[in-house]
Amino acid sequence: MYLEMSSPAPCTRSWSISEDSLRRYVYFASESCIQELLSASDTTRVGNSNDGWKVLTLDNGVEISKRRSGSLHTFRSRWLLRSVSPEQFITVANAIDAAKQWDSDLVEAKYIKDLEDNLSIIRLRFGESSKPLFRNREFIVYERRETMDDGTLVVAVASLPKEIAAGLHPKQNNAIRALLLQSGWVVEKLEDDSCMVTYVIQLDPAGWLPKCFVNRLNTKLVMIIENLRKQVQACPINGDV
């Protein structure tokens, strides 16, 4: 069975906007993304049959769930990292130069533009050897990093509209420009300098794909979690970072 993604035709238009307008747009768009991430990480709602999440796997302290969002699914992983501070985790997870060490499908990750200290535009590119869900795809995304009043760290990531993305970085002929929709990290500080990590991803791969590839994104999440856990635990960081 095949799933037809409801993506528009390849974008041939591009919008050139000022950096100030881009900054305002990203701040506005990222507000709802941050709220969605915080809602997904709310431990008081985990297991509530009314919240729409269906647990796929629960093993070794790692929960992976999914929830239908229109024609797509949103996937969520949650896991406890003992003796790892939120700052330590985010430092490793946000080091895009080293991202290929925990995501083997990733070919290139680079900053296109820094709008502010906590706000960046990034290009992610996946190559021919990547798994089918990501093969020859690229994403032009914003990344916004915020610290909540209780110390919770939130990293909101989502694709820019295709016209804006095309104005910032023209699409490569050999790549499909796919979309990340309201994805990112929530890292909550616990006692003993440990943290609870929630990772949410909603992906529109743009194009025809076997339904099983879309619905088995959870296997990729397991790989990311294990690789990230190893990276974080191998890179101790002083508490004042």
Question: pLDDT band for position 228 (50/70/90)?
Answer: confident
Let me know how many helices (H) and strands (E) the chain has, helices first. 5, 13
How many residues make up the chain in this entry? 241
Q: Which of 59, 69, 60, 61 is nearest to 39 (CA)?
A: 69
Return the minimum-mean-pLDDT range out of 32-36, 127-131, 138-142, 148-152: 127-131
Return the minimum-mean-pLDDT range out of 9-23, 24-38, 123-137: 9-23
pTM of the model: 0.83
Asked if the model's pLDDT at residue 141 lies above 70, the reply is yes
Asked if the model's pLDDT at residue 10 lies above 50, the reply is no
Q: What is the pLDDT of residue 12?
A: 52
Return the minimum-mean-pLDDT range out of 38-42, 74-78, 98-102, 151-155: 98-102
Q: Which of 241, 188, 194 is nearest to 85 (CA)?
A: 194
Q: What is the pLDDT of residue 28?
A: 94
The CA–CA distances, whole Å, from 17 to 12, 31, 92, 168 equal 16, 20, 32, 9
